[in-house]
Amino acid sequence: MPADGGIGASTKRREDVRFLTGQGNYTDDINIHNQAHVFFLRSDMAHGKINGIDTAAAEKMPGVIRIFTSKDFEGVGGIPCGWQVTDRFGEPMQEPKHPVLAEGFVRHVGEPIAAVVAETLQQARDAAEAIELDIEELPPVVDMAAALEEGAPKVHEDLSSNLCFDWGFVEENREAVDEAIRNAPHVTTLELRNQRLVANPMEPRVAIGVYDRADDEHTLYTTSQNPHVIRLLMGAFVLGIPEHKLRVVSPDVGGGFGTKIFHYQEEAFCTFAAKAVNRPVKWRSSRSEAFMSDAQGRDHVTKIELALDEEGKFLAIRTNTLANMGAYLSTFAPSVPTWLHGTLMAGNYTTPLIYVNVKAVFTNTVPVDAYRGAGRPEATFQLERVIDKAARELGIDPIELRRRNFITEFPYETPVALTYDTGDYHATMDKLEELADLKGFEARAAESKKRGKLRGLGVNCYIEACGIAPSNLVGQLGARAGLYESATVRVNATGSITVMTGSHSHGQGHETAFPQVIADMIGIDPEQVEIVHGDTAKGPMGMGTYGSRSLAVGGSAMVRAAEKVINKARKIAAHLMEASEADIELKDGRFTVKGTDKSVAWGDVTLAAYVPHNYPLEELEPGLEETAFYDPSNFTYPAGAYACEVEVDPETGKVDVCSFHAVDDFGNIVNPMIVSGQVHGGLGQGIGQALLENCVYDDDGQLLSASYMDYAMPRADDLPFYSVDHSCQTPCTHNPLGVKGCGEAGAIGSPPTIVNAVVDALQRAGHDVTHIDMPLTPARVWAAMQG
Amino acid sequence: MYEVIITRPRSLAEAIEALGDDNATALAGGQTLIPTMKQRLAAPEVLVSLSGIDELSGVTIGDGEITIGAATTHAEVAREVAGACPALAALAGGIGDPAVRNRGTIGGSLANNDPAADYPAAVLACDATIITNDREIRSDEFFDGLFSTALLEGEIITAVRFPMPERAAYAKFDQPASRFALTGVFVAAGGGVVRVAVTGAGEDGVFRWDAAEQALMKDFSPSAIEGLSPDPSGMIGDLHGTPEYRAHLVGVMTKRAVEAALG
């Protein structure tokens, strides 16, 4: 490990100094002089027809500045959807309008109906209670299968049904897959649910709209993973404000997990209202509001069939999934169960024929969108659970069955449209077997048994597609955005560097890791490099942080910009030393003339660029600042093998996770400590999904798990000490850093590991249990044991 | 939260006078009432804080009994009775989190009578006496269904007197989200009597499980409980467990409490 803080060093996170000492600058820390506060009156009904909203009494309440309803938004666009899916018949998905404030109908608990802007939040809330609503309750649809039945109540009266789209992939394979499954010697079938989750970032969402009447300029401060995307979506599609008159700022962001990617009504409202009342308007979500207004995650119900031959070779996979969209299409919702899910169904295996059918369904629930992993955890869960079940049915060791089907030659074209550039799945599995001491399992199981506990072992693999991705490809798939990334490398006169990146950290440590790359390229101290992000006024158009893309795409853009800077600096150095450019080498922060002792320091060259007295002005512009936009040629494919051991208490059904081993191949690694931290966080969320978290609506569409009293978040004592390893490295072949991305792996690979282990524990104890739906609460595990 | 006036009496007499106001509500540690007010689900006009009254606070360990002032926090109880009644100390030390334990009080918990709270199980199993400004109430007469007690309007719990059990233990199975008791069982034995009180499971709040008491009075051992569980009808069913599961857990937790009580 280099001691100099370059690539490969576990440099401590410089941003933690301010985060851990209360000096962070989060959106809620921002207060603008003369700001007013908004409180949203939200629907307490899952489905209803709005017959009237009487605000007369509320308007007279103390401190009220103005009360808004949908009437104030006539001519304003709906919240746009950023991805259009084409169904298997070639037709576009059904795409209902998503108004800023409810228009005519309420369609989920938590939908904003009216907004009260007042001097204080307390006054706004008091006035909201005085608004008289006349809403006629309509029958809600909550269950996806029921929503698709003939004659089911419609979430959107103007759509033909509750079916958003019926997607087939690869549609041309449909019949061949059917036939392969019909003729296969063995077919393993599994029906499962990937339950709905609430993202729960530590920092709730906040939005502050500011309008400068003198210059006709809007500013939105918001808790976003991608401020430029918000500027484009809100400016162009909702409010009609051109980019040069709209600035979006996201300062420190306290976690996102996907739910802060999307453009929300509250952002558009605050921006709009700030102009309408000519006052800054601030909104801060309460935790209760977050439960019913942040886009939720997962919520797939799937039947998967895996066909195998006598030797356990996979012949075909067929899946049928119902994917819950909620009441409206959130920004990237349609992409999650389709292109981020269907394309991953090959996993780490050579299955030649795959067909994925997804029916996306509207229900009277909070919209669902990308959440850490987004589609890939759903794919991995199905695949790794059905493989485990097949192994038990065929009497083949689960690891052996996986090994028999591993892809071993790269590049590998899957039957579901991806080309894996590189990987070594046997190597990660070998490492796992060593790390997890699988040979010692029986002895540990015997020891558990002495204490009256049932021990189980779960092992599985995962692969994911990260670093989303080639713009021209995603455009063909329906994305209404490019997915490049940008960076400007601004070298200051005395040699320090400011990097404006379109990536935006919401906790990942970019301010530490990105400078390590620049420091390594030039040979300067990383402390000489500063990262600027999260402000559309400061950097070039960027696409933001999600899908484990920051280093792979944003980091690559920064490398390209830095290369341009270095090339120009090399020319300046050649001039200063009166040498040929071809002979100039950059090492340890000095340019030298090859084969001589002539050299010039980085700082002297940068100074020359800005004080161009001795400078080739006829050939070269002064200054040293370059911008690059990087559009990757492929996704990246992190992959790994995970193992865990659990103990089940046979009396109560409680599951304890005794150990968790994660072996990940992330390609090259810039900061191993940050990578381990990302894996730890992902495992925590994945174990949370497997054992604890569950977002539940009752039949009336009321959210039952609406607070931490009923929504179980993982706590430290629910989790084991992790053992993580990322020594297996097959560098990505198509980005300049050879990196793959690590942010989501833990959350993708861990849920099936836990479920596999619990099923293993129960089967070893003689229970005929082949599957339990997540979360594996004590009550569910106990019920499964009762048969 | 709506606007509210908070008064902070220094003596019990002042507190009783303040609570004479029809719009006044007593505020103990506030660990339930304050969050409820923040959600605007409760809107008292006047709060009478009981936390500044010295005579309501503190633990006295006497001959065969422990008296705990109503305003004594869970953290203090956990500390002060660790030697005299480890079962009660463990129960108090397992309530909520450190913040809750350092604000929440025994009197507040009992007056609220949350069906999943821990203290009611200890009070009922130990046959403790609830002392108010006006009278003494036996545990069997005190609890009166969900969030309901024998306390009258304006009546304040001043202390709780626990007879020291010969053997006792509390076994709690956490609700995974809130970590209140999904099912908690307090078993106390003394003077030839065994009492088993169950919290978290019953639709009417804390209750005594007669069948287990009788079995344990014949044979105070885990095996006496083997195969026993109460009728699931009358048990709570919710997101976290069916009535059948809770009934089963009552048996398991009782057995574990007996094991622990036997050391």
3-state SS string over A119-167?
CCHHHHHHHHHCCEEEEEECCCCCCHHHHCCCCCCCCCCCCCCCEEEEE
CA dist B254 and B183 (Å) reads: 10
Say yes or no: A623 and A745 in one domain: no
Q: Kindly report, residue by residue over A312-332, the tens digit of the pLDDT.
A: 999 999 999 999 999 999 999
The total domain count for chain A is 3
Instruction: Say how many C-beta atoms besides its own lie within 10 A of residue A583's C-beta.
Output: 15
Q: Exposed (0-12), middle (13-18) or buried (19+): which is A537, by Cβ within 10 Å?
A: exposed
Asked whether residue A315 is domain-assigned, the answer is no
State which residues form the domain around A78: 31-138+202-255+260-293
Average model confidence (pLDDT) for chain A? 97
What is the model's pLDDT at position A469? 77
For residue B112, give both structure tokens: 């609220």
Asked whether residue A251 is domain-assigned, the answer is yes
pLDDT confidence tier of residue A713, bands split at 50, 70 and 90: very high
- Determine, for residues B177 and A713 on separate chains, whether the beta-carbon distance falls below 8 Å: yes
Say yes or no: A551 and A418 in one domain: no
Say yes or no: A659 and A740 in one domain: yes
Kindly state whether A779 is in contact with chain B, defined as any CB-CB distance less than 8 angstroms: yes
CA dist B77 and B81 (Å) reads: 6
The alpha carbon of A769 is separated from its chain's Cα centroid by a whole number of angstroms, namely: 33
Residues in chain A, how many? 787
The alpha carbon of A670 is separated from its chain's Cα centroid by a whole number of angstroms, namely: 21
Q: Phi-psi category of A316—alpha, beta or left, where left has phi over 0 and alpha has psi -120 to 50?
A: beta
| Residues in contact with B146: Cβ distance below 8 Å, sequence separation at least 6, in sequence order | B113, B115, B203, B204, B205
Say yes or no: A495 and A525 in one domain: yes
Once rounded to an integer, what is the mean pLDDT over residues A472-492?
92
Kindly state whether B240 is in contact with chain A, defined as any CB-CB distance less than 8 angstroms: yes
Cβ atoms of residues A465 and A636 within 8 Å: yes
Closest residue in chain A to residue B183, using alpha carbons only = A652
CA distance A44 to chain B (A): 14
- Determine, for residues A694 and B173 on separate chains, whether the beta-carbon distance falls below 8 Å: no
Q: How many CB pairs under 8 A join A and B?
A: 46
- Determine, for residues B240 and A705 on separate chains, whether the beta-carbon distance falls below 8 Å: no
pLDDT confidence tier of residue A468, bands split at 50, 70 and 90: confident
Cβ atoms of residues B160 and B70 within 8 Å: yes
Once rounded to an integer, what is the mean pLDDT over residues A252-279?
98
- Determine, for residues A782 and B248 on separate chains, whether the beta-carbon distance falls below 8 Å: yes
Helical segments of B31-85, H only: 33-38, 74-80
Say yes or no: A277 and A400 in one domain: no
pLDDT confidence tier of residue A2, bands split at 50, 70 and 90: very low
Once rounded to an integer, what is the mean pLDDT over residues A540-559?
95
The three-state DSSP-derived secondary structure of A710-759 is: CCCCCCHHHCCCEEEECCCCCCCCCCCCCECCCCCHHHHHHHHHHHHHHH
Kindly state whether A652 is in contact with chain B, defined as any CB-CB distance less than 8 angstroms: yes
For residue B97, give both structure tokens: 């989190």
Say yes or no: A562 and A693 in one domain: no
Q: Phi-psi category of A508—alpha, beta or left, where left has phi over 0 and alpha has psi -120 to 50?
A: alpha
Please list the residues that pair with B102 across neighbouring strands: none
B177 vs A2, which has greater pLDDT?
Answer: B177
For residue A119, give both structure tokens: 């001097």
Kindly state whether B104 is in contact with chain A, defined as any CB-CB distance less than 8 angstroms: no
- Token match 């500063």: residue? A530
Closest residue in chain A to residue B245, using alpha carbons only = A779
- Determine, for residues B173 and A778 on separate chains, whether the beta-carbon distance falls below 8 Å: yes
pLDDT confidence tier of residue B10, bands split at 50, 70 and 90: very high
Q: Kindly report, residue by residue over A620-647, the tens digit of the pLDDT.
A: 999 999 999 999 999 999 999 999 999 9
CA distance B162 to chain A (A): 30
A126, A129, A779 member nearest B240 (Cβ): A779
- Determine, for residues B252 and A712 on separate chains, whether the beta-carbon distance falls below 8 Å: no
- Considering the domain B5-49 in this protein, what is its CATH number? 3.30.43.10
What is the model's pLDDT at position B19? 94
Asked whether residue A304 is domain-assigned, the answer is no
Burial A690-725 (b: 16+ CB within 10 A, else e): bbbbbbebeeebebebbeeebbbebeeebbbebebb
Last residue of a domain, one of A610, A630, A650: A630
Phi, psi of A660 (to 5 degrees): -145, 120
- Residue A223 three-state SS: coil
- Determine, for residues A692 and B252 on separate chains, whether the beta-carbon distance falls below 8 Å: no
- Determine, for residues A705 and B173 on separate chains, whether the beta-carbon distance falls below 8 Å: no
Say yes or no: A661 and A686 in one domain: yes
CA dist B106 and B89 (Å) reads: 12
Of B197, B116, B176, nearest in space to A653 by CA: B176
CA dist A465 and A358 (Å) reads: 19
- Determine, for residues A710 and B252 on separate chains, whether the beta-carbon distance falls below 8 Å: no
What is the model's pLDDT at position B141? 97
What is the model's pLDDT at position A1? 36
Once rounded to an integer, what is the mean pLDDT over residues A504-514?
96
Kindly state whether B178 is in contact with chain A, defined as any CB-CB distance less than 8 angstroms: yes
With the C-alpha atoms ordered A326, A327, A329, A330, is the resulting torsion angle positive or negative?
negative
- Residue A257 three-state SS: coil
A125, A705, A779 member nearest B245 (Cβ): A779
CATH number of residue A607's parent domain: 3.30.365.10
Once rounded to an integer, what is the mean pLDDT over residues A505-523?
96
- Residue B53 three-state SS: coil
What is the model's pLDDT at position A473? 87
B56-163 carries CATH number 3.30.465.10: yes
Q: Kindly report, residue by residue over A38-58, the tens digit of the pLDDT.
A: 999 999 999 999 999 999 999
Q: Kindly report, residue by residue over B162-201, the tens digit of the pLDDT.
A: 999 999 999 999 999 999 999 999 999 999 999 999 999 9
For residue A453, give both structure tokens: 């506990």
Once rounded to an integer, what is the mean pLDDT over residues B15-24?
93
CA dist A125 and A43 (Å) reads: 14
Q: Kindly report, residue by residue over A104-150, the tens digit of the pLDDT.
A: 999 999 999 999 999 999 999 999 999 999 999 999 999 999 999 99
Once rounded to an integer, what is the mean pLDDT over residues B240-253?
98
CA distance B58 to chain A (A): 30
- Determine, for residues A779 and B177 on separate chains, whether the beta-carbon distance falls below 8 Å: no
* Residue B129 host element (H or E): strand B129-132
- Residue B61 three-state SS: strand
Last residue of a domain, one of A245, A273, A293: A293
For residue B69, give both structure tokens: 């002032």
Closest residue in chain A to residue B3, using alpha carbons only = A122
- Determine, for residues A783 and B177 on separate chains, whether the beta-carbon distance falls below 8 Å: no
For residue A604, give both structure tokens: 């002297």
- Residue A499 three-state SS: strand
pLDDT confidence tier of residue A472, bands split at 50, 70 and 90: confident
Once rounded to an integer, what is the mean pLDDT over residues A169-188?
97
CA dist A506 and B72 (Å) reads: 42
Kindly report, as residue ranges, where domains of CATH 3.30.465.10 are found in chain B.
56-163
For residue A214, give both structure tokens: 């003198």
CA distance B191 to chain A (A): 31
Closest residue in chain B to residue A649, using alpha carbons only = B252
CA dist A632 and A636 (Å) reads: 9
- Determine, for residues B177 and A782 on separate chains, whether the beta-carbon distance falls below 8 Å: no
Q: Which of B185, B249, B255, B258 to mutate to test the interface with A (most CBs of A within 10 A)?
A: B249
Last residue of a domain, one of A597, A630, A663: A630
Kindly state whether A708 is in contact with chain B, defined as any CB-CB distance less than 8 angstroms: yes
B205 has pLDDT over 50: yes
- Determine, for residues B173 and A709 on separate chains, whether the beta-carbon distance falls below 8 Å: no
Q: Exposed (0-12), middle (13-18) or buried (19+): which is A502, by Cβ within 10 Å?
A: buried
For residue A479, give both structure tokens: 């994305």
Cβ atoms of residues B101 and B95 within 8 Å: yes
The amino acid that residue A665 corresponds to is: D
Q: Kindly report, residue by residue over A562-589, the tens digit of the pLDDT.
A: 999 999 999 999 999 999 999 999 999 9
- Token match 């179980």: residue? A712
Q: Kindly report, residue by residue over A352-367, the tens digit of the pLDDT.
A: 999 999 999 999 999 9
Percent of chain A having pLDDT more than 70? Answer: 99
Superfamily of domain B167-261: CO dehydrogenase flavoprotein, C-terminal domain (3.30.390.50)
Helical segments of A548-671, H only: 556-576, 602-610
CA distance B39 to chain A (A): 9
Kindly report, as residue ranges, where domains of CATH 3.30.390.50 are found in chain B.
167-261
A4 has pLDDT over 80: no
